[in-house]
């Protein structure tokens, strides 16, 4: 998982147009600093400006389940280009949390969250930040 984070940093620096605006200007030290979710963070109850979503064709992730969210600032819009590709406004966030159920056969069993990825659209393009959850489910 550290490789993913290092790869994200490398990608951002290799595409940076100026040293003034780097990944470190955008990365927050804790997931809670983004203010995506109500307290307790591990319950993933989105705030008013955060919307949960699902995709039609999810990819296999080593039996992990995922919760996905998007945050677009008020008065912003997602547009489409001529080929129907999404055009997200700057400062949009895509949030994906990976977890396992304690009993994979029972989706009401306890969740063990192990990773949250935050993608932020910036003037540099999309930047990726990885947050690893500890055993007591606190980042």
Predicted local confidence at residue 3, as pLDDT: 38
Predicted local confidence at residue 136, as pLDDT: 84
119 belongs to a structural domain: yes
24 belongs to a structural domain: no
Q: How far is CA 65 from the centre of its chain?
A: 14
112 belongs to a structural domain: yes
Number of domains the chain is built from: 1
Which strands make up the sheet holding 111-122, listed edge to edge? 50-53, 65-71, 93-101, 111-122, 125-132
82 belongs to a structural domain: yes
- Give the alpha-carbon dihedral of 98, 103, 105, 107, to 10 degrees: -60
pTM value surpassing 0.85: no
Mean pLDDT of 15-19: 49
Predicted local confidence at residue 4, as pLDDT: 42
User: What range does the domain containing 41 cover?
Assistant: 2-13+34-132
Q: Is residue 31 predicted with pLDDT exceeding 60?
A: yes
Distance CA 97, CA 69 (A): 9
132 pLDDT tier (thresholds 50, 70, 90): very high
127 belongs to a structural domain: yes
Mean pLDDT of 117-139: 89
Q: How many CA atoms lie within 13 A of 38 on its CB side?
A: 6
25 belongs to a structural domain: no
138 belongs to a structural domain: no
64 belongs to a structural domain: yes
């Amino acid at each position: 998982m550290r490789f993913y984070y290092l790869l994200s940093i490398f990608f951002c620096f290799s595409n940076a147009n100026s040293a003034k605006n780097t990944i470190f200007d955008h990365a927050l030290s804790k997931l809670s600093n983004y203010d995506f979710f109500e307290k307790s963070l591990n319950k993933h109850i989105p705030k008013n400006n955060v919307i949960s979503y699902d995709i039609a064709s999810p990819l296999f992730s080593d039996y992990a389940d995922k919760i996905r969210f998007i945050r677009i600032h008020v008065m912003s819009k997602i547009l489409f280009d001529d080929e129907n590709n999404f055009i997200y406004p700057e400062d949009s966030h895509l949030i994906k949390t990976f977890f396992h159920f304690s009993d994979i056969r029972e989706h009401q069993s306890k969740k063990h969250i192990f990773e949250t990825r935050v993608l932020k659209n910036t003037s540099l393009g999309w930047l990726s930040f990885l947050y690893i959850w500890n055993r007591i489910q606190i980042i």
